Amino acid sequence: MSFPITRHRRLRGSAGIRGMVRETMLHVLDFVQPIFVTYGTGVKTEISSMPGVYHFSLDTLKEEVDEIVELGIPAVLLFGIPETKDAVGSSGFDEFGIVQEATRLIKKWYPELLVIADTCLCEFTDHGHCGMVHTHTVDGVVHGDVLNDPSLELLTRTAVSQAKAGADIIAPSNMMDGYVAAIRAGLDEAGFEHLPIMAYSVKYASAFYGPFREAADSAPQFGDRKTYQMDPANLREAIREAESDVLEGADMLMVKPALAYLDVIRTIRDNFDLPLVAYNVSGEYSMVKAAAKQGWIDEKRIVLEMLTGMKRAGADIIITYFSKDAARWLRD
């Protein structure tokens, strides 16, 4: 009988040797925990489609932030649910808006914790789109165009007000053309030339955002986001999107969602040198939670395997609703 010449199993024989040859390692410093802040007082309400994720009002926020800091997670990503919405999303760039207030509080409590501000209008507009719209009604049905250039001005105002409140990183998720250049110029002019932009460069028009839209109350009231977010079928277009953001001055690039887009993460990693962020979005979270609740999967192993896959694909940073869980699992 002939013996195998190559024996891969030699490097798998014990936990010790598997650890020694492991190529990809998750670390708590990789994670960003999203937080949803809402108006009102005494609010800590679980988001029904995202078990374990809550809406917090400003007076209940501290316990959540304490826990994040205690676990050693270096950054939070803030989303705001405002009391009032209008056509231009003015509570998004209000000096006393919910995101601005939360930012000031968190930076007062924990100056070292990085606050990343999601710069978009969809949570603040009454129509739920990420920019300014022009609507017209045909046979009782509302149609609308999301206007690119007028939206840039509103988004820039939003970013500057977030910077003034103390945000450490501006993360624009709106997918308007020229948004990085516009926001960079606005920040520089206001004296925030030192603040990095984490660009949601490659953001697909994805069904995986479903639970988030419940969480952020940001579902579009007419139409969809397909005229500004990318077609899930496209990979070469991802390179074009990332390239324009790099040329416009982005400091970090993002691919979103993550799980069904690991090839996109790898492609962006191979083509660009900037730090790369993967956004493990709401639907990816909810699917795991639902299956785990049924007892169909081992949640801890599934989550760590998914997050490891994102890093192996080339992500440096992972925005995930599992940050606290993962930090705990990695520690224990």
Binding site for ligand PBG (CB under 6 A): 118, 120, 122, 130, 173, 209, 212-213, 225, 281-282
What is the three-state SS of 30-89? HEEEEEEEECCCCCEEEECCEEEEEEEECCCHHHHHHHHHHCCCCEEEEEEECCCCECCC
Helix (H) or strand (E) holding 301: helix 299-313
Q: Name residue 223's amino acid.
A: G
Chain CA centroid to CA 304, Å: 18
Question: 203, 289, 311, 324: which one is catalytic?
Answer: 203
Is residue 256 annotated as part of the catalytic site, yes or no? yes
CA dist., res. 310 & res. 252, Å (int): 16
CB of 261: closest distance to ligand PBG in angstroms?
A: 13
Residue closer to ligand PBG, measured from CB, 209 or 272: 209
The answer to the question of whether 282 is labelled as a binding residue is: yes
Residues in the chain: 332
The answer to the question of whether 301 is labelled as a binding residue is: no
Question: 85, 256, 289, 311: which one is catalytic?
Answer: 256
CB of 116: closest distance to ligand PBG in angstroms?
A: 11
CB of 212: closest distance to ligand PBG in angstroms?
A: 3
The answer to the question of whether 120 is labelled as a binding residue is: yes
Per-residue tokens: 127: 């129509």
CA dist., res. 207 & res. 71, Å (int): 31
CA dist., res. 5 & res. 25, Å (int): 30
CB of 282: closest distance to ligand PBG in angstroms?
A: 3
Is residue 164 annotated as part of the catalytic site, yes or no? no
Residue closer to ligand PBG, measured from CB, 110 or 309: 309
The answer to the question of whether 9 is labelled as a binding residue is: no
Active-site residue set: 203, 256
Q: Which residues are known binding-site members?
A: 120, 122, 130, 213, 225, 241, 282, 321
Residues of each annotated binding site for Mg(2+) = 241
